[in-house]
Structure 1
């Protein structure tokens, strides 16, 4: 089903990266968008966009989610699409990952999604419609070495999405989860951790990625319009996920090779 004009859309992390690309995709389709981010003032990237409103929303804060719900209710009297998109990155050898780093990524990437879902589920159940879209990663489906924090939270987002997919179906509410591999974004700015080797490797993969956030966003929209639950946005993710599901020995061989290659650099 095509995105309807005047659709009501809330996107977290909407000031940059995939979030901003999604904002622009929906604007092109005539939707009304509430872009949210942690900035106190509207970012320059969103300023002047027709059909776009801005609200400060730190996804770790319940009070900010309550304000977003109140804004949506008072301004639009409902919501058609909720994108739990805001996220950060961390990874590396587990002995170098401190517990405050774990808490940081769990609070944003996992509990931020949980807060968004629990905030807007009652509204969507009451209106008998709506679509929740959670941004995970191919790392939520396949779990490479030296990414324990990141794969843990992204796998959690996939799990939340699948559980809600079944839970909300009787109420007419849809749930999808986005699982891209590397694409050009500003995620490197949020990289945190003491494993400098892992940080440099991740930054290199992101910087050399061939796909742009705009391309990923367009594929996400197509996935939504085709009613897909798991939205795999690129060939590499599809191949890796298929290998894990249908050719487990090959998948383990790939992971083993990657792990030993990393170990040689220690």
Structure 2
């Protein structure tokens, strides 16, 4: 059965891969992104809408569009996000405000906007793109970790809160994969951003591979969708072998400190 799907940040990266994967299944897809006009990257068999997740006006327009066009929504994918990285004494408060406004509050706005519709339907699935950084918290990425951990916490909370209305909620937590996310880096801590750039561009998994795993997780109504072996290892190591996790994270912090002193 064809589903009605709205994806934010759907013109590139994981959002675009998800849009193509849903459309390939025969689902109706509406892509939201920052461009005023339809980007060339968006497939012709999907609809497009300007949607800045920082703007409640844009969210209200998306809700009106979905009501008028489809009369309801089956899957909301809060995927839009930016990359950031920085040590606590280097990254600015303005960088913190930017990443929280997009990566966390952008997800909150989407959930708040569409939950009344999903409650009316007594059905629906909210899919929030977090990150492995929302589950395991390495040094030098405090703002990104905090935002993504907030998305995981929000998703778990809403999973319990909205279950009585037949609404499922999933948090997607991939490790690094090849995407254009590094293009959104613009903070003060250039050393950390160089590390993030290498991790993203040299990752072994593609966005299409991650999207395939995400769709399988959505089909199974998984609360936390881990997309790769590294993520599963890190997640379960932290949960079951906490001393080993602490040791690795401590070593990473010491390595980062040495780099800071050498800079």
Q: Which TM bucket (shorter chain)?
A: over 0.9
Structure 1 contact 96–193 (Cα < 8 Å) conserved: no
For residues 10-49 of structure 1, what are the structure 2 equivalents within 5 Å? Answer: 10-47=6-43, 49=44
Aligned match of 1:75:
69
Alpha-carbon distance in 1 for matches of 2:258, 2:89: 17
**For 1:66 and 1:245, how far apart are their aligned partners in 2?**
39
How far does residue 257 in structure 1 lie from its aligned partner after superposition? Answer: 1.1
Shift of 1:224: 0.7
Partner of 1:189: 183
How far residue 255 of structure 1 moved from its aligned partner, in angstroms, is 0.1
Shift of 1:259: 1.2
Give the alignment partner of residue 143 of structure 2, picking from 128, 149, 152: 149
**Misfit runs of 4+, over 2 Å:** none
Q: Secondary structure at the match of 1:33?
A: strand
- Give runs of aligned pairs for residues 84-123 of structure 1, distance below 5 A: 84-123=78-117
The yes-or-no answer on 1:256 pairing with 2:250 is yes
Q: Which whole-Å deviations, capped at 9, do the CAs of 1:48-77 have from their partners, x for residues lacking one?
A: x22x11000000000000000000001000
What are the Cα deviations for residues 108-150 of structure 1, in whole angstroms up to 9, with x where unaligned?
Answer: 0000000000000000010010000000000000100000000
Confirm or deny: 8 A CA contact 1:15 1:45 kept in the other structure.
yes
1:166 aligns with 2:147: no
TM-score by length of 1: 0.97
Determine the structure 1 residue equivalent to 2:4. Answer: 8
Pick which of 38-47 and 182-191 moved more.
38-47
Deviation at 1:192, TM superposition (A): 2.1
1:60 matches 2:54: yes
3-state SS of 1:94 partner: coil
Counterpart CA distance in 1 for 2:186 and 2:100 is 13
SS at 2:233 equivalent: helix
